[in-house]
Structures are given as structure tokens and as C-alpha cells.
């Protein structure tokens, strides 16, 4: 189990580093009127919030068809958080349900529409988390 958590932590550092670099380059390459197309990845959502003990938060986001998204939830370390992604018909399309509060999912919608992101707290105290979505 320790090896799995170590590998997850290492993967998290890589994802967050790549995501940070993508955000930094997206600030110039994806602005309207800028023809620089070095990076097609950009930052969609960056939100901090709290989820109460034994409760959940649901966020609704519009995702574009055939675009790859990475959805990351990074908690404060106090409790187990799980991440679920649902399409507009209520079908679960991805989830991360391990015993940590770091969750990552990847989705590529087949259509443009509203998708639900559910963050569930299984702990006895609230968890302050950061929700990030990258495209």
C-alpha cells in the first residue's frame, strides 16, 4: 500500500508540474487574437472550497466534445475524498475512489454538455480542497 501511495504522490507531482507549465504558457498562447499555438492545453477551473464531514459537493461544468480534460482534486490531508464524474444523463464516466484525498480523473466527452463533478468526503471533519480542471 505504501508503494501505491508513493507512486500516486510522484504522479501527482508530475501532473501538477505539467499542469502548472501548461497554465503558464496558456496565459499567452490561448488569448483571443494570439496566433501562438505552442500549447493547446489550458486552465479551465481553479477553485478552493470546503466539503463537510460525511457530505459531498457537486459542481456543474460545461465540457467540449472531443477535448481531453484532466480533473484534479487535492485535499488538505485530513480525510478521504473521492471524485466522481457524471455526464448530463447521470452516467458515471470516471471516478477516483482510493483512500487518499488526492484524486485525478481524465475524460474526453463525446458531446458538448454539462457534466457533474462530485467530491465526497468520507471523514469525520471537513476537508479544504482545490478543484482544478485542465484541457
Task: Tell me the pTM.
Answer: 0.70
C-alpha cell at 74: 487535492
pLDDT in tens, 63-78: 999 999 999 999 999 9
pLDDT band at 41 (very low <50, low <70, confident <90, very high): low
Tell me the three state secondary structure of residue 88.
coil
Q: What angle do CA 17, 104, 92 make, to 5 degrees?
A: 155
Q: Does residue 35 register a pLDDT over 90?
A: no
Domain at 2-31+40-134, CATH from 3.30.2350.10, 2.60.120.380, 2.40.370.10, 3.30.70.60: 2.60.120.380
Q: Can you tell me the mean pLDDT for 10-14?
A: 44
Residue 96 contacts residue 83 (beta carbons within 8 Å): yes
Domain boundaries, the chain: 2-31+40-134
Q: How far apart are CA 129 and CA 60, in angstroms?
A: 17
Amino acid at each position: 500500500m505504501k508503494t501505491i501511495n508513493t507512486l500516486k504522490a510522484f504522479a501527482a507531482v508530475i501532473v501538477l508540474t505539467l499542469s502548472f507549465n501548461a497554465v503558464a504558457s496558456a496565459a499567452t498562447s490561448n488569448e483571443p487574437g494570439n496566433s501562438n499555438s505552442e500549447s493547446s492545453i489550458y486552465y479551465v477551473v481553479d477553485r478552493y472550497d470546503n466539503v463537510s464531514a460525511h457530505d459531498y459537493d457537486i459542481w456543474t461544468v460545461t465540457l467540449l466534445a472531443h477535448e481531453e480534460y484532466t480533473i484534479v482534486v487535492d485535499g488538505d490531508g485530513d480525510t478521504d475524498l473521492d471524485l466522481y464524474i457524471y455526464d448530463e444523463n447521470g452516467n458515471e464516466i470516471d471516478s477516483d475512489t482510493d483512500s487518499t484525498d488526492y484524486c485525478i480523473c481524465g475524460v474526453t466527452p463525446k458531446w458538448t454538455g454539462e457534466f457533474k463533478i462530485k467530491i465526497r468526503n468520507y471523514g469525520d471533519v471537513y476537508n479544504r480542497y482545490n478543484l482544478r480542471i485542465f484541457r
